[in-house]
Structure 1
Amino acid sequence: MEFVEPIRDRNKIAAMKKLLAGSPRDHLLFVIGINTAYRVSDLLSMRYSDVMDSNGNLFPYFKLKETKTKKNSKVTMTKGVQKSLTDYIKDNYRGNPDDYLFQSRKRDKDGNSQPINRKSAWRIIQEAAKQLGLNDIGSHSLRKTFAYHQYKSGTDIVLIQDMLNHSNPSVTLRYIGITQDEKDRAIKALDL
């Protein structure tokens, strides 16, 4: 697995959203990814029943059992995520709540939907990033982008640590590149 960075520039995030808008599925993957602390494996396992009730009403939050940690997770949906989901569901939901949200073209032997795989998710994000001149970006950058912008907006590092299920704040700071950013800034400021 390659090392990836968060997307630090909000203008680049907006540009990624615009670029991915040509594929509603890919756009939604990006939007949910940068607005939650979920790993790509958790995003890809999402089904329509994880985001809406049987009447088609969106839940106010995601409620999943995380793949890696096996912990139950409840994450509120932002207004932007709700809008993206509503638009996506309107055009893509085919009536089966057990269908995956991020479907591939592949079906299982019974004709049921299959999710895109991790490699496809990585390629989607990485190729869009390259078009925008961003390097070291992949599907894991979504989670890092979420954490980075939470930190930059003033969210306590201990809360972010908890959202990411990290063992301590220093791990979280290193994970989102803050420690290196601060070292670089300190060295540049000295400039002897």
Structure 2
Amino acid sequence: MNVVQPIRDKSIVEQILLYLKLTNERDYIFFGMGVHSGLRVSDLLKLRVRDVRDQLHVVYVPEKIKSRLKKRRKQKMFIIHPDIAEDLRRFIEGMDDDEYLFASRQRKTITGAVGEPISRVTAYRMLNKVARRFGVQQIGTHSLRKTWGYHLYMDDPTNLALLMKMFGHEDMTTTLLYLGLTQDAMDAAIRGLSYT
């Protein structure tokens, strides 16, 4: 399994947002919601217009995770960030409440269904395409959530307890590893090592 990283440079995040805003409104809203909310891609893809129309928060119950660790499936709320709220409002104008927020433009090959959400694979491809354009490596669907958490932590390390709660992690080490901060610390320590 490939390790994916957050986008550590805020200016790159801003450039990606601007690029997507000019080239693809759906992908712009998707990326913007991801880096501003901390929602998993699987949760973003399930959003319907009614979940965000005239709302201050996105309210959801995390999906059941198949693992030995039993994560609590409590309802969580993520604010719709002011930086994306107005663009989101314009994006959903004229859409029905039952429509998926990030609907595919294509008919499903097997079922023939129309208006279904884009797949995780489509989201991954979009993210990788834009990441390559901006020279970002080790990107994946978790990179949006990791970017959100990374910058919350870097802006104020006292947010660590909040991030643990939002990610559903049991300890700080897990959160620091998830955000790539442990690797950053190791890199800094090694760079500082000198025998001369």
Letter in 2 for 1:8: R
> Offset at 1:112?
5.4
Partner of 1:134: 136
Cα deviation, residue 72, structure 1: 1.3
**1:88-103 mapped onto 2 (5 Å cutoff):** 88-90=91-93, 93-94=94-95, 96-103=96-103
Question: Which residues in structure 2 correspond to 1:113-152 (within 5 Å)?
Answer: 113-152=115-154
Number of residue pairs aligned between Structure 1 and Structure 2: 184
SS of 2:37 mapped into structure 1: coil
Q: Give yes or no for contact 1:99–1:112 (8 Å, CA) kept in 2.
A: no
For the structure 1 residues 110 and 139, does the alpha-carbon distance in structure 2 shift closer, same or farther, using more than 3 Å as the test?
closer
Whole-angstrom distance in 2 between the partners of 1:156 and 1:4: 22
Q: CA deviation at 1:34?
A: 0.5
- Equivalences for 1:4-153 in 2 at 5 Å? 4-21=4-21, 22-52=23-53, 58-68=54-64, 70-90=73-93, 93-94=94-95, 96-106=96-106, 113-153=115-155
CA distance in 1, matches of 2:107, 2:84: 27
Question: Aligned to 2:100, what secondary structure does the other structure show?
Answer: coil
TM-score, normalised by the number of residues in structure 2: 0.87
| Aligned-partner Cα distance in 1 for 2:87–2:194 | 46
Contact 1:35 1:146 in 2 (8 A): yes
Instruction: Show structure 1 runs of 5+ residues with no match.
Output: 53-57
Q: Report the CA distance between 1:152 and its aligned residue.
A: 0.2
Question: Which deviations, in whole Å up to 9, do the C-alpha atoms of 1:41-72 show, x marking residues without a partner?
Answer: 000000001001xxxxx211111122245431
CA distance in 1 between partners of 2:44 and 2:8 (Å): 21
Deviation at 1:150, TM superposition (A): 0.7
What is the distance in 2 between the residues matched to 1:110 and 1:47? 20
In structure 2, the partner of 1:55 is none
After superposition, the CA RMSD in angstroms is: 1.8
After superposition, where does 1:179-190 map in structure 2 within 5 Å?
179-190=182-193
What secondary structure does 1:114 align onto? coil
Q: 2: distance between equivalents of 1:42 and 1:2?
A: 21
- C-alpha distance after superposition, 1:99-126 (max 9, x if no partner): 1000002457796520000000011111
Aligned-pair identity (%): 35
Q: Equivalent of 2:164, from 156, 161, 164? A: 161
Q: Could you tell me whether the CA contact under 8 Å between 1:31 and 1:84 is conserved in 2?
A: no
CA distances 1:151-192 after superposition (whole Å, capped 9, x unpaired): 001142111110111121100000111111111112212322
